[in-house]
Structure 1
Amino acid sequence: MIDDHHKLDVLNVVDTYQGRDLGVTMEPQACSFKVWAPTAKQVDVLLSPPSTGGSPNEQKNKDEQKEIPMNKQDQGIWTLKLEGEWNGYRYMYRATFEDGRQEIAVDPYARAVTMNGEMGVIVRLEQTHPNGWNEDIRPELASPVDAVLYELHVRDFSIHESSSMRHKGKYLAFTETGLRDSNGNTLGIDHLAELGITHVHLLPVFDFATVDESKADDGTSDCSRYNWGYDPLHYNVPEGSYASRADEPETRIRELKSMVLALHEKGIGVIMDVVYNHTFDTAASSFEKLVPGYYYRQNPDGTYSNGSGTGNEVATERPMVRKFIIDSVRYWAEEYHVDGFRFDLMGLIDTTTMKELAAELHAEVSPSILLYGEPWGALESPLGDQMTLKGAQREAGFAVFNDNLRGAIKGDSDGTGTGFATGAEEKEDDIWTGVRGAITDFTAGPSETINYVTVHDNLNLWDKVAQTQGLHDTLGFITYSEDGRVKGSANVAEAVQQAKPYLHVDPDHILENESVRRCLLANGIVLTSQGVPLLAAGDELLRSKFGDANSHESGDSVNAIRWEQKQQFKPVYDYYRGLIRLRREHPAFRLRTREEIELHVQLLEKGKGLLAYELSGTSVGDSWGRIIVIYNASKETRTICVSSGTWNVVVEQGQAGTETLRTTKEGQVSVPAISMTVMYSGE
């Protein structure tokens, strides 16, 4: 409940500021502070000397703290300019209100912080650039449909012993090239480049609250060191636990930039998962301390609304909140060369904000920047018809997750419910809608749909397929009791040791296994559909999370990518790599507009677990004249008639790519059970 005694009528605040210089601005021999606090009676800057690292004499530092009053300007702004060199100094704002109450807060616009985000830090950003930063080039993206997205958690990527990476769990792991396993398979960033994805979509890398950055990280599976990061603390600062030194404010900035630079050098863009819909804390947040009642949405009775399911929701529709979000996203795009943003619970961000954000980024920063998000909230929100739901993105420059196609392919997210690829009947119409970029559903064109089967939330693909086959108990998957304890094991790590996720996979006949075939069919549909495909990291290695449907704090034992599985399931990896190459080399799979799809994607046959269609290649500049794609989800081989002539089969029976596997001239083609066939005729 908001304390009305302390809350002035902030919703009627007309003081809004247009400038782009909130926070700290550095000059050669000066430093300026600017903060928006329209209802404060006085604001002071509290300045402390740079932290010495180690264990400084806290009393000595406290004695040296300077308290400097700021000057009130128009539009609710408080400013202060200091001459001299203040690089490395720590700072806070102290706001005093009419009733004498005081609040000390970190600058919401802080770009650097001390360990665990307790104080803001003044830094010269040009000193945080890694070598080669000024020459860094953002990978160009002519259209969103040219992207192949790969969702990944920074720590998961490198923490497992099989990764061979030195910087385990850190940003710098992405800078390690030339790594191979004992069989010569590429690992790490070289694996990503070889796989062929165009963008790594990173789970949150801004500063989040729930991992204690002061704890030594010895690389062991300590669940307290693990979180996905959907608990924002400081929106404009990199997370410290992924840096080699969380206590050095410049280090985390430099190392995140080094990661972006390394990926760019491989031609891979970087997408940030951003969480502007809620914050970790409400009363203790800088937003609430500096302008009480303004930054958070309220119910009619004055209580905080909870559309996020985490205790608060940010009032994105208010002018200075909208400005903060646009400023923040633009800062990451410009200072860190970030190539795109995925918005968590985007339904809770008002559509006007999303539209303005997309227009400004594409006009002012780069038209290549990708923007997309979840078109839903978690619980009810007072935002009402301003919510950014499916359809709100039409012709607005951003995309939404297509959960309609997701459900049609796999069924429900955590249960035994089935979809087309997992054995359900009568899903062909929904698959056909998704294949055509959802243009008859909710999009104005294919660049507005993110096609996917699974992401970090819920059961991952291998585990979901196993669940639909009734294999949960046979494979020894983790089961949690209502109080969160692991059933039948002392802890999560022990439960993982006991699980046997690949018990039923014959290593000599991997591609004949039904679970494998269902996984390949599911993502095969994603990679051949019109729109923007997204894969979850490790799908190409048959990654399992041992049945853990919500592994956000389950630790490394559940979440780590096990790189030895690349060799173990090499045919699966080769299949994914081949499909990505097929998509990237053939524009017929990447049509740009609704009109192109209506003209050049033709239905051939649909029903009883089968969907077949033809793409006209020549008309869209493809080197292949005609392309036929057939999905067979049934348990028997299906034969369909095709026009006579020579057809070159390039995808069949777990093999995929652009090379011809065989040719057929019979006027018909047989598609094996639970598989996909792609073939073309005419050069």
Structure 2
Amino acid sequence: MSLPPLFHTTASLGALQPSPNVPSVTFRLYFPASFPTHITSIRVIGDFQPHTTPTASAWDPSSAPALFASVPQAEGTFWTLALNARLPAGFYEYQYVVTFDDGSAPRIVADPCARYAGRGANRSGFVIGGSTAAENEVTPLAARKPLGDLVVYELHALDFTDEFRGGRAPLDALRDKLDYLVDLGVNALLIMPWTAWKDALFDWGYQPFQYFAISYAYANDVNRPEEKISWLKRLISACHERGIHVIMDGVYNHCDESFPYKSFYLRPDDCPYTAQPFGGTFPGLQDLDFNNQCTQDFIRDVCLYWISQFKIDGIRFDNTVNFYVPGNPRGLPELLQSIEDYVTADGQQNFSMTLEHLDLDAANLVSTTAATSYWDNAIYGQAASALWSGTISPLYLAALNNTQYVSPGKTATLYLSNHDHSTIAWAAGAPTLSGGGAWFRTQPHVIALLTASGTPLIPAGQEWAEDYWIPEDDAGSGRRVRARPLRWAGTTDAFGKPLGQLYRKMLKLRAEHPALRGPGFYPPKWEGWMQQFDAQGFGVDVQRGLVVYHRYGNGDDGALERFYILLNFGVAAQTVQMQFAEDGEWEDVLADSTVKVAGNRLTVTVESNWGHIFFKKTA
């Protein structure tokens, strides 16, 4: 049977304080019908135990209180314990001790529906006291924008706050830089997975362990351990007050191999959430089994929990290739539709759902499901290749207009790099071992990204030429997952300051002109054999390293906006004769000057690794 939306939260699963005035906790577990666990007993151990009886010790199974099983119901069986003890305010950790009917050794298991992650490996947590839910109501956005109007800034909360947070929770410290992001021109944050991984060590978060909990490493404040969830809620409110959308990074194809639910089954292979692979698999990770309705309901409720309680504005879905099976509505399509149904019924608009679907059918999948966007590797691939080889491909221009392949109102998400790759500044300096010192080589790529048809994504620090390398393939060693702490002095040094100025100017231009956020693009297609400009002077000149294209559309006032864009990716200045649709004065945006077009032509000299954007509005 299908469970009602938000079942996993309305059923009070996990370990929760019953009310702010009751300093105790209720533990509750759920197991779906038709999948026998063979459990005979469940007890709970943790550092709360000394407060239960005078003789109890922390983490002592012999004095651990027991949960009691309900009479089996249509949806399954519940195990519950309302602890009869008053607990001092603070943060507590716990685990379950589970025994089975075959007499095998007890297992120590974390809580799959815990709302708090433990600091220790494979532990869960709960809080007594601290601020109340009523004190942490999330402020919604005044007006949520369509994804096509956003500039997304991707960050890892630990790396982003490494230099300045001290003992504060990273999610709290992150608020310190929100005004910087607004000044930059960003209006959306994509935070790498905050759902809990299995310990408090550094991680990227793509091996989820407890889906309803925030990572301990993200939420822990050494001076205020009882505050955890509140930091994320306050961060989202602070973002919304500044017009910044918050996008969650969700990992739903797979989980950590030690996913707690597995250990509650005598035979872990019988766990219905993970029994069989669904679609593709990812080596070293536990596939989730969307063949079973309980898994579909569980992941749906994970998404709805963060939407309903934290008022997030979108979700990026990681590794969707592996939980999409063509022709099968289960897995990804049903998940997207259930979210769309919920937010629509709730009166929400413009909730974004972006797929990391690195496959040729990505645009079609977005067009035929409730998804709104997909991660498009095209500009990243073209830029990385050009920076390494020193030569642009004819397909560079095509990469700037992939939004044309999705249905109206949907978009491609474009980037020069992201968390999965080395920084674009590293790629610029790699051929000469210059690192971020070759930042100027990224300039035409930045202009291209921010005038392309699609939603731009900027990984943290790219705007000041932050310089990190990671291997594209670490052969299973785990060496890709490494800390890359931001070095904030780069914002004002000789590399970062001029590059940051370019980003600010380009992002301001994009925000002010709907034509740069819309679909109008000429030439609409460009093939790999086309190595010279067309008869109108548009396209790619491979030999000279030049690209020319036209962006157009109506402004907010209904007037036609035209942008003619010339980019030089080469090492020498080039002189180009450009053709224009209209004579008269045009604004040379990057030069803060004007030019006069006569006879529909203009001869332009463009410096190396630079560009021109000519703008005119026609009533």
Fold match (TM-score > 0.5): yes
- Structure 1 residues 247 and 309 mapped into 2: Cα distance closer, same or farther (>3 Å)? farther
Q: Which residue of 1 aligns with 2:7?
A: 21
| C-alpha deviation, 1:36, in angstroms | 1.8
Distance 1:444 1:663 in 2: 37
Percent identity of the aligned residues?
A: 19
Tell me how far 1:454 sits from its aligned partner. 0.5
Tell me if 1:566 matches 2:491.
yes
Using the alignment, how far apart are the partners of 2:342 and 2:614 within structure 1?
42
Q: Which letter does structure 1 place at the counterpart of 2:236? A: V
Whether 1:403 aligns to 2:401 is no
* Closer, same or farther: CA 323–535 of 1 in aligned 2, 3 Å: same
1:578 deviation in Å? 0.9
- Residue among 43, 48, 71 paired with 1:46: 43
Aligned length: 565
Q: Is 1:431 the counterpart of 2:396 in the alignment?
A: yes
Alignment correspondent of 1:136: 139
Q: Which residue of 1 aligns with 2:160?
A: 157
8 Å CA contact 2:117–2:216 kept in 1: the answer is: no
Q: 1:630 to 1:146 in 2, by over 3 A?
A: same
Matched, 1:460 2:437: no
Contact 1:629/1:679 (<8 A) preserved: yes
Question: Relative to structure 1, is the Cα distance of residues 33 and 547 closer, same or farther in structure 2, using a 3 angstrom cutoff?
Answer: closer
Judging changes above 3 Å, is the alpha-carbon distance between structure 1 residues 80 and 562 closer, same or farther for their aligned structure 2 residues? closer
Task: Judge conservation of contact 2:379–2:396 (CA < 8 Å) in 1.
Answer: yes
Q: Which amino acid aligns with 1:338?
A: I
**Counterpart Cα distance in 2 of 1:458 and 1:248:** 35
**Does 2:205 match 1:202?**
no
Residue pairs, 1:433-452, within 5 angstroms: 433-440=398-405, 443-445=406-408, 447-452=410-415
Q: Deviations over 1:445-483 (max 9, x none)?
A: 47331111101122210111222xx223xx4xxxxxxxx
Task: Please say if residues 452 and 534 of structure 1, whose CA atoms lie closer than 8 Å, have aligned partners that are also in contact.
Answer: yes
Map 1:288-307 to 2 at 5 A: 288-290=263-265, 292-293=269-270, 294-296=272-274, 298=276, 307=281
Residue 559 of structure 1 aligns to a residue whose secondary structure is coil
- State the Cα distance separating 1:174 from its structure 2 match: 1.8
- Does residue 264 (structure 1) correspond to residue 240 (structure 2)? The answer is yes
Compared CA separation, residues 61 and 95, structure 1 to 2 (3 A)? closer
Residue 329 of structure 1 corresponds to which residue in structure 2? 303
* Shift in CA distance, 65/120, structure 1 to aligned 2, threshold 3 Å: same
The CA deviation at 1:247 is 11
3-state SS of 1:171 partner: helix
Compute the displacement of 1:249 (Å): 6.9
Task: Give me the whole-angstrom Cα distance separating, in 1, the residues matched to 2:561 and 2:38.
Answer: 72
Q: Is this contact kept in 2: 1:346–1:373, CA < 8 A? A: yes
Superposed, 1:234-273 pairs within 5 Å as 234-245=210-221, 250-273=226-249
Are 2:581 and 1:648 equivalent residues in the alignment? no
For 1:465 and 1:650, locate their aligned partners in 2 and report how far apart those are by CA, in whole Å: 26
CA distance in 2 between partners of 1:614 and 1:597 (Å):
6
Tell me, yes or no, if the aligned pair for 2:358 and 2:375 is still in contact at 8 Å.
Answer: no
Q: Distance in 2 between matches of 1:53 and 1:629?
A: 70
Kindly provide the amino acid, as one letter, of the partner of residue 197 in structure 1.
V
Say whether the 8 Å CA contact 1:112–1:121 is kept in structure 2.
Answer: yes
- Amino acid corresponding to residue 637 of structure 1 in structure 2: Q
Partners of 2:85 and 2:312 in 1: CA distance: 30
Seen in structure 2, the aligned counterparts of structure 1 residues 19 and 108 have a Cα distance that, compared at 3 Å, is same
- Contact 1:42/1:70 (8 A) holds in 2: no
Q: Could you say if the C-alpha distance between residues 317 and 604 of structure 1 is closer, same or farther in structure 2, counting changes exceeding 3 Å?
A: farther
Deviation at 1:348, TM superposition (A): 1.4
Bigger strand fraction? 2
3-state SS of paired residue (1:59): coil
Give how far 1:53 is off.
11
Which position in structure 2 is the counterpart of 1:534?
A: 457
Q: Which residue does 2:65 correspond to in 1? A: 66
State the secondary structure of the residue aligned to 2:587.
Answer: strand
1:209 Cα shift?
A: 2.6
Structure 1 residues 312 and 81, CA gap change in structure 2 (3 angstroms): closer
Structure 2 distance, partners of 1:59, 1:306, is 46
* Cα distance change on mapping 1:36 and 1:462 into 2, 3 Å: same
The 3-state SS of whatever aligns with 1:682 is strand
Query: Displacement, 1:566?
Result: 1.1
Task: Give distance in 2, aligned partners of 1:53 and 1:462.
Answer: 54
Matched position secondary structure for 1:66: coil
- Gaps in structure 2 of 5+ consecutive residues: 527-535
What is the alpha-carbon distance in structure 2 between the residues aligned to residue 376 and residue 563 of structure 1? Answer: 32
User: Secondary structure at the residue paired with 2:209?
Assistant: strand
Are the structure 2 counterparts of residues 97 and 52 from structure 1 closer, same or farther at C-alpha, using a change threshold of 3 Å? closer
In structure 2, C-alpha distance between the alignment counterparts of 1:248 and 1:124, rounded to whole Å: 12
Q: Is the 8 A contact 1:439 1:446 kept in 2?
A: no
Q: 3-state DSSP class of the match of 2:228?
A: helix
Work out whether residues 169 and 231 of structure 2, in 8 Å CA contact, stay in contact via their aligned partners in 1: no
- Range 524-533 or range 446-455, more displaced: 446-455
Contact 1:340 1:371 in 2 (8 A): yes
**CA contact 1:647–1:679 (8 Å) conserved in 2:** no
The one-letter code sitting in structure 1 at the alignment partner of 2:367 is R
Shift of 1:31: 4.8
Question: Which residue is 1:384 aligned to?
Answer: none
How many angstroms apart in 2 are the aligned matches of 1:75 and 1:143?
A: 38
CA distance in 1, matches of 2:3, 2:40: 17
Matched residue type, 1:254: S
Alignment map for 1:570-609 (pairs within 5 Å): 570-591=497-518, 605-608=538-541, 609=545
Change (3 A) 1:363 1:124: farther
For the 8 Å contact 1:436–1:529, the answer to whether it is kept is yes
Match of 2:574 among 630, 634, 637: 637
8 Å CA contact 1:530, 1:589 repeated in 2: yes
Give the structure 1 partner of residue 532 of structure 2.
none
Kindly state the Cα deviation for residue 154 of structure 1 after the two structures are TM-superposed: 0.8
Alpha-carbon distance in 1 for matches of 2:589, 2:167:
38
Q: Tell me the secondary structure at the aligned position of residue 295 of structure 1.
A: coil
Match of 1:75 in 2: 75
- Residues in 2 aligned to 1:134 and 1:246: alpha-carbon distance in whole angstroms: 23
Give per-residue Cα distances to partners, 1:544-594, cap 9 Å, x unaligned. 0157668986898x7121111111131210110111111111111122x6x
Could you say if the C-alpha distance between residues 641 and 597 of structure 1 is closer, same or farther in structure 2, counting changes exceeding 3 Å? Answer: closer
- The answer to whether 1:544 aligns with 2:467 is yes
Q: 2:75 aligns to what SS in structure 1?
A: helix
Aligned-partner Cα distance in 1 for 2:391–2:56:
64
1:128–1:273 CA distance, 2 compared to 1 (3 A): farther
SS in 2 for 1:116: coil
Separation of aligned partners in 1, 2:218 and 2:50:
18
Match of 1:255, SS state, is helix
Kept after mapping to 1: 8 A contact 2:190/2:249: yes
Q: Is the CA contact 2:421–2:469 (under 8 Å) kept in the aligned structure 1? A: no
Secondary structure at 2:145 match in 1? coil
Query: Does residue 369 of structure 1 match 2:351?
Result: yes
| Residues 91-100 or 388-397, more deviating | 91-100
Question: Secondary structure of the equivalent of 1:235?
Answer: strand
Matched, 1:519 2:484: no
Cross-structure match for 2:28: 33
Q: 1:70 offset after TM fit, Å?
A: 0.8
Paired residue for 1:383? none
